[in-house]
């Protein structure tokens, strides 16, 4: 698995459980919300269409009643036998020759026409006969009925069959009394025919367009409504400036579906339409889609947020429960980390009757056993070291050696050879410190004194003398160190560094905080990088067993070995002790040690 993918996987069992639980809840919840949203949108659309259709149906009923009232006026005139008989007499020239009776007959017709518009919306009723006669319920001064013949639609009247009606396009109001308040008029036209279907007259019922738009404004407040003719021309509408123009969204009216949702002016509009069959017109309602669904959507939104709140509450509760259940595991993990760093005193104190509680109890018991085993091993190693040193010390009887050496020194001095006597004295001191004293630690100044005697003795064996230089800080003199730990290092400098030739060995010691920094330097032949790394590996990875075999085979304190010294120092001072080797060919060798105070050592 790529590293970047591994970094995304939680490392904690708690986080894994939380992630798994959240995933198992969130994924189904998201899928449910997506389905819910999809179904909700469809339900909102259907409900919005239903509400808009109901509103349009109410408007359609009122508009239909208004248009039917105009049709009924034309029907009355067209079907009334008395009126038709009179109109036929006038057209045929068979009127009563008496002027008074002609006036009375004409007046009765006008009264009929006036009575047709007494109830309901105002309408202008006109009957025009082919001989040029006309009858109307308005004054000629208001409008000359014969001017109807000049209208563009008048030529299409002859195409009507039987009881068919012609609904005219919207046109500017021609009646002077209504031109200011009512700028647009509409008309419905019927024909008067003889038995042979020949047209002998025309019935024209004219009404103001705002009678329809008034219905729009009263019954569909806040929505845009238009009434379209068969060509898509706006016959009436909520906005006066649109009347007479072609409906801009005519192509979006789907004959198969009673509604459509179209973008208008940057927002979606719900467009619902219904037909008015007897007029060949179509009623269209337009409503902002967001307004159409606002009330229904608010209900769905409240349900949605209610579900989301419950989801978040249960999610937080689940996370809290997972954290509570995994708290002992997290504590065990922290304890394990502390143990890995070397702290064996820490305990988890996790108790309980479940698996985690038993695991915590067993883990604490294991740490107790480990601590006991480590203590026992440390004691055994210490006893082993002491026994090995005692075996070395027991190889020569101390008192016998000391007495013999003192006798030899006295005889040499009596014969006048003080230098030899001094060397024998140095050997006596060296042996006494090596095999007689039982304590493992001595002060640094005692160790330096031993090294001085040792170098003096080694100069007797060599043809060329080695000079020992000391640079010991006063505060370091009383620092406690393992007994005779410098001898193998100095011996290596004499034999391997200086190659038993003349040279200088310099020992420097100083306190750095709670550590003693001690360096042994020679100006010998040095070593290359491969040899230096080999020695460093032996210092860090050597075994005690090989060192002891080397000591036993050597039979002398000078063969304890550098490796054994480093092992002793690590056992006494723990990981806080450090040793570094610096050397270059022809530049000599430096062995530098950082020795902590015994009280700070991590054994």
Give residue 323's pLDDT.
78
Nearest-5° Cα angle at 213, 208 to 219: 140
Give residue 522's pLDDT.
93
pTM for this model (two decimals): 0.49
Give residue 293's pLDDT.
65
Q: How many CA atoms lie within 13 A of 467 on its CB side?
A: 4
Give residue 356's pLDDT.
75
d(CA 184, CA 240) in angstroms, rounded, equals: 9
Write phi, then psi, for 481 (nearest 5 degrees): -135, 160
d(CA 433, CA 450) in angstroms, rounded, equals: 8
Residue with the two structure tokens 């009623």: 283
What tokens appear for 362 in the block?
């067993």
Give residue 557's pLDDT.
38
Residue 205, Cβ neighbours under 10 Å: how many?
A: 23
Residue 405 · residue 427 · CB < 8 Å:
yes
DSSP conformational letter for 170: P
Q: Where does 93-174 have alpha helices with state H?
A: 99-116
What tokens appear for 291 in the block?
């307004």
Look at residues 33, 9, 31, 19 and name the one whose alpha carbon lies nearest to residue 315.
19
Nearest-5° Cα angle at 68, 245 to 119: 110
Q: Which residues pair with 578 in a beta bridge?
A: 594
DSSP conformational letter for 118: S
Can you say how many angstroms the Cα of residue 442 is from the centroid of all Cα atoms in its chain? Answer: 65
Nearest-5° Cα angle at 167, 165 to 168: 140
Which residue stretches of the chain have pLDDT < 70? Answer: 1-12, 14, 36-37, 39-41, 43, 255, 291-300, 387-407, 409, 411, 419, 421-422, 429-439, 541-561, 599-603
H-helix or E-strand spanning residue 510: strand 503-512
d(CA 545, CA 529) in angstroms, rounded, equals: 27
Euclidean distance between the first and final Cα of the chain, in Å? 41
Give residue 435's pLDDT.
60
Residue with the two structure tokens 């449910």: 32
Give residue 518's pLDDT.
96
Q: Give domain 466-540+560-602's CATH architecture.
A: 2-Layer Sandwich (3.30)
- By DSSP bridging, strand 134-136 and strand 166-167 are unpaired
Which CATH number does 32-292 carry? 3.30.450.20
Can you say how many angstroms the Cα of residue 546 is from the centroid of all Cα atoms in its chain? Answer: 60
Q: Based on C-alpha coordinates, what's the Rg of the chain?
A: 61
d(CA 520, CA 500) in angstroms, rounded, equals: 17
Cβ partners under 8 Å of residue 530, min gap 6: none
Write phi, then psi, for 134 (nearest 5 degrees): -150, 155
Look at residues 322, 326, 336, 402 and name the one whose alpha carbon lies nearest to residue 364.
336
- 276, with CB counted inside 10 A (0-12, 13-18, 19+), is middle
Write phi, then psi, for 457 (nearest 5 degrees): -65, -40
Give residue 16's pLDDT.
73
d(CA 492, CA 530) in angstroms, rounded, equals: 18
- 267, with CB counted inside 10 A (0-12, 13-18, 19+), is exposed
SS (H, E, C) 350-400: CCCCCHHHHHHHHHHHHHHHHHHHHHHHHHHHHHHHHHHHHHHHCCCCHHH
Q: Which residues pair with 594 in a beta bridge?
A: 517, 578
Give residue 391's pLDDT.
56
Residue 33, Cβ neighbours under 10 Å: how many?
A: 15
Q: Which residues pair with 602 in a beta bridge?
A: 574
The ranges assigned to domains in the chain are: 32-292, 302-372, 466-540+560-602
d(CA 427, CA 133) in angstroms, rounded, equals: 165
Q: Which residues pair with 482 in a beta bridge?
A: 441
Give residue 189's pLDDT.
94
Give residue 145's pLDDT.
93
SS (H, E, C) 231-273: CCEEEEECCHHHCCCECCCHHHCCCCCCEEEEEECCEEEEEEE
Q: How many residues does the chain have?
A: 603
pLDDT digit string, tens, across residues 107-138: 888 888 888 877 778 899 999 998 988 999 88
What tokens appear for 80 in the block?
């009334």
Sheet holding 515-522, edge to edge: 466-472, 503-512, 515-522, 589-596, 578-583
d(CA 336, CA 338) in angstroms, rounded, equals: 5
Give residue 168's pLDDT.
92
Residue 175 · residue 119 · CB < 8 Å:
no
């Amino acid at each position: 698995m790529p590293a970047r993918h591994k970094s995304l996987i939680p490392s904690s069992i708690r986080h894994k459980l939380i992630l798994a639980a959240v995933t198992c809840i969130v994924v189904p919840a998201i899928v449910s919300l997506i389905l819910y949203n999809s179904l909700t949108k469809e339900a909102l659309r259907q409900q919005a269409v239903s509400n808009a259709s109901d509103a349009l149906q109410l408007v359609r009923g009122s508009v239909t009643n208004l248009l039917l009232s105009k049709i009924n006026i034309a029907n009355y005139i067209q079907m009334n036998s008395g009126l038709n008989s009179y109109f036929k007499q006038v057209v045929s020239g068979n009127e009563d020759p008496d002027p008074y009776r002609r006036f009375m007959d004409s007046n009765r017709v006008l009264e009929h026409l006036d009575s047709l518009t007494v109830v309901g919306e105002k309408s202008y009723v006109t009957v025009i006969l082919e001989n040029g006669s006309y009858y109307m319920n308005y004054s000629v001064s208001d409008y000359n009925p014969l001017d109807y013949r000049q209208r563009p639609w008048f030529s299409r009247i002859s195409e009507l069959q039987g009881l068919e009606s012609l609904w005219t396009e919207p046109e500017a109001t021609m009646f002077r009394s209504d031109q200011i308040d009512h700028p647009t008029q509409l008309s419905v036209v019927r024909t008067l025919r003889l038995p042979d279907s020949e047209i002998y007259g025309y019935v024209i019922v004219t009404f103001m367009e705002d009678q329809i738009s008034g219905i729009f404004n009263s019954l569909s407040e806040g929505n845009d409504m238009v009434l379209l003719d068969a060509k898509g021309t706006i016959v009436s509408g909520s906005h006066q400036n649109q009347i007479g123009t072609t409906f801009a969204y005519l192509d979006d009216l789907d004959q198969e579906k009673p509604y459509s949702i179209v973008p208008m002016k940057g927002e979606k509009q719900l467009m619902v339409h219904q037909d008015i069959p007897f007029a060949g017109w179509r009623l269209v309602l337009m409503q902002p889609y967001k307004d159409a669904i606002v009330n229904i959507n608010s209900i769905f939104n409240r349900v949605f947020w209610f579900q989301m709140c419950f989801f978040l509450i249960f999610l937080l509760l689940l996370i809290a429960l997972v954290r509570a259940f995994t708290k002992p595991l997290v504590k065990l993990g922290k304890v394990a980390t502390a143990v890995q760093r070397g702290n064996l005193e820490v305990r988890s104190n996790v108790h309980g009757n479940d698996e985690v509680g038993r695991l915590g109890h067993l883990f604490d018991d294991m740490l107790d056993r480990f601590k006991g085993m480590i203590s026992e091993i440390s004691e055994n190693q210490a006893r082993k070291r002491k026994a090995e040193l005692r075996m070395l010390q027991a190889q020569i009887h101390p008192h016998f050696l000391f007495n013999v050496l003192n006798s030899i020194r006295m005889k040499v001095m009596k014969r006048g050879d003080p230098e030899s006597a001094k060397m024998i004295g140095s050997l006596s001191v060296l042996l006494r410190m090596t095999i007689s004293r039982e304590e493992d630690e001595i002060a640094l100044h005692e160790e330096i004194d031993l090294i001085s005697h040792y170098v003096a003795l080694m100069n007797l064996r060599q043809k060329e003398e080695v000079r020992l230089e000391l640079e010991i800080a006063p505060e370091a003199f009383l620092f406690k160190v393992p007994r005779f730990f410098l001898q193998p290092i100095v011996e290596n400098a004499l034999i391997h560094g200086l190659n038993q030739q003349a040279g200088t060995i310099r020992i420097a010691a100083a306190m750095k905080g709670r550590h003693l920094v001690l360096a042994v330097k020679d100006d010998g032949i040095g070593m290359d990088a491969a040899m230096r790394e080999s020695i460093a590996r032996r210092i860090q990875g050597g075994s005690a067993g090989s060192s002891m075999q080397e000591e036993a085979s050597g039979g002398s304190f000078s063969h304890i070995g550098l490796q054994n010294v480093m092992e002793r120092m690590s056992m006494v001072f723990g990981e806080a002790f450090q040793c570094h080797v610096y050397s270059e060919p022809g530049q000599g060798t430096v062995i530098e040690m950082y020795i902590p105070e015994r009280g700070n050592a991590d054994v």
